[in-house]
Each structure stands twice: as structure tokens, then as C-alpha cells.
Amino acid sequence: MTSVLPLNCEDLHVMVIDDDDFQIDFVSDLLGELGVKHISTALGGRLGLQEFDRCERKPDLLLCDIQMPEIDGFEMMKELSERKYQGGVILMSGQGAKVLYSASLVAQLARQNFLGTLEKPLQKHMLQSTIKKLIEA
């Protein structure tokens, strides 16, 4: 299958952080269908931060679940801000519009390269259009 995203999508390094194995696999599969070749994953926020810190090349894009035990998406945003992360961030949740709206406000206050929120289960066309914001920036 060929990439449906423009030009340098194959060069993107994307990290997926979620506390649900199924969601990690699902999102990783969607990214693969969109032509993303470099995908890192972590089960939960704590492991996500450990993996982030371990990465020699920081992810260009981080997809993070909002509601996770130990370190949730809001805490993750704080930690990424303290680490001066410059890549794109997409927050995901299955908890509805109010949670997604609150998350977008927190992300904007953190002054990060916030690309948006996506409701679970993710839809390929929505993920694609959100990733395009990063590529076209």
C-alpha cells in the first residue's frame, strides 16, 4: 500500500502512548496504513516518558491517551513541556467532547505544538488530516 500522506511522512518518527494494548495496535496499524514507518509505542504514561527519554531521535509526533493510570495525558503534557519537546502532539480519548475540549485548552496553555484532539476509536481520515498539519507546518 502506498502512502496517502505527502512527501516526508515515511521519515516521521511517531510515538503512541496508551494504557490499552488494543488501542496501541489499532493506532499503530492506522499509522502504517498512512505510510508512517517509524513507530514507537509505550503502554502507559510512565513507560511513555521512559521511552521518550531513551529515544536518541525524539518523536516528530506524539499521540497520547488522555486518561491513563499513574501519568495521564495532562501530566504527560506537563512533562513534555518541562523537557522542551518541540514535536507535534495529538491527544486521544474515548471520553467525549468535554474531555477533549479541556485537553485542548491544557495543551494550548502548555505552549506546545498541539495539533488537536481525536476521539477514539480513531478514524483514519481524521488522523491523516491532523498529521498533515505537522507535515505542512
Does some domain include residue 69? yes
Cell numbers 467532547 correspond to 97
Which neighbouring-strand residues pair with 61?
14, 88
pLDDT class of 137 with cuts at 50, 70, 90: confident
Residues 6+ apart with CB under 8 A from 75: 45
Does some domain include residue 1? no
Please give the tally of structural domains in the chain. Answer: 1
Q: Is the pLDDT of residue 27 over 50?
A: yes
Q: Provide the domain limits for residue 130.
A: 7-135
CATH of the domain at 128: 3.40.50.2300
- Using a 10 angstrom Cβ sphere, with 0-12 exposed, 13-18 middle and 19 or more buried, the burial of residue 126 is middle
Q: Model's pTM, two decimal places? A: 0.90
The pLDDT tens digits of the residues spanning 30-71 come to: 999 999 999 999 999 999 999 999 999 999 999 999 999 999
**What pLDDT is attached to residue 6?**
42
The pLDDT tens digits of the residues spanning 96-109 come to: 888 888 888 877 77
Does some domain include residue 62? yes
